[in-house]
Chain A
Amino acid sequence: KNQVEQSPQSLIILEGKNCTLQCNYTVSPFSNLRWYKQDTGRGPVSLTIMTFSENTKSNGRYTATLDADTKQSSLHITASQLSDSASYICVVSRLTGGGNKLTFGTGTQLKVEL
C-alpha cells in the first residue's frame, strides 16, 4: 500500500534552535519527494524537491535529505524563527499509467516559541 508517514506529529522548539522532521514512505514506483510548508489557514507551498539521485538539497535554512534505499527523508530547519511555525507536509510522487500521482503525509505541526 502506498503510504507516507511523518514524525513527530507535533513539535515545539525555542526560537533559534534547530529541529529535524522525518518522513518514511512505501510509495512505489518512486518519482520524487517534496516537502511543503503550510501556514495555518493557508494552502501548502513547496519548499524542496528530491529526486531519486539526490541525497541533500538546501533552501535557505531548510535542508532536505533523501535515502532512497531505506525510503526515508528528513527536513532539517536551522536557527528556527517564529515564522517557521507551520505544518510541514511530505509528499511523494509515484509514476502511474495516468501520470504522476501524489501521496500526502499527515504533516508535522511545528511551533516555534520565544
Chain B
Amino acid sequence: DGGITQSPKYLFRKEGQNVTLSCEQNLNHDAMYWYRQDPGQGLRLIYYSQIVNDFQKGDIAEGYSVSREKKESFPLTVTSAQKNPTAFYLCASREQGNTEAFFGQGTRLTVV
C-alpha cells in the first residue's frame, strides 16, 4: 500500500534533549513537508523539501533541523533550542504541481 508513515506515534522528551521524528513515504513524491499543530491554531510549516538534498525553512523553523538524503525520507530533529516543543507534528508529501497533500498519522511530542 502506498502511503506516508510517521514514527513514533507518541514521544516523550526530557528538557535539553534532542529528538528525531521519522517520516517515510513510498508515494514517489518529490516534495515533503513538516507541520506543527497546536490547539486552536492552523497547521504551521516548519520545513519543506522539494527535491533530494535540498530543503527550505518554513514559517517556524527555529529550533528544528531536517535532512533529505533520500527521496523517501525526511526526518525532523527537534533540538533543545526549541522553546516550546510540545505539539502534534505532521509530515506530508505531494507531487510537484499537485496541491493535494498526503499526511502521515502524526507524532505527538511531549516534553517532560
From B40, B43, B97, B103, A99 is in contact (CB under 8 Å) with B97
Q: Are A34 and B99 in contact (CB under 8 A)?
A: yes
Complex Cα spacing A70 to B50, Å:
33
A to B contact number (C-beta, < 8 Å)? 50
> Separation in Å of the A1 CB from the closest CB of chain B?
13
Interface residues on A, range: 20 to 34
Complex Cα spacing A42 to B104, Å:
8
Q: Considering the complex, which residues of chain B in the window 89-104 have a beta carbon less than 8 Å from any beta carbon of chain A?
A: 90, 92, 96-97, 99-101, 103-104
B interface residues (Cβ-Cβ under 8 A, vs A): 4, 6, 35, 40-44, 50, 88, 90, 92, 96-97, 99-101, 103-106, 108
Would you give 15 A-B contacts (Cβ < 8 Å), ordered by A? A41-B105, A42-B106, A43-B103, A43-B104, A43-B105, A43-B106, A46-B101, A49-B100, A91-B101, A100-B97, A100-B99, A102-B99, A104-B42, A105-B42, A106-B40
Interface string of A77-114 (1 = CB under 8 A from B): 00000000000010101000011101111110000000
From B35, B99, B103, A45 is in contact (CB under 8 Å) with B103
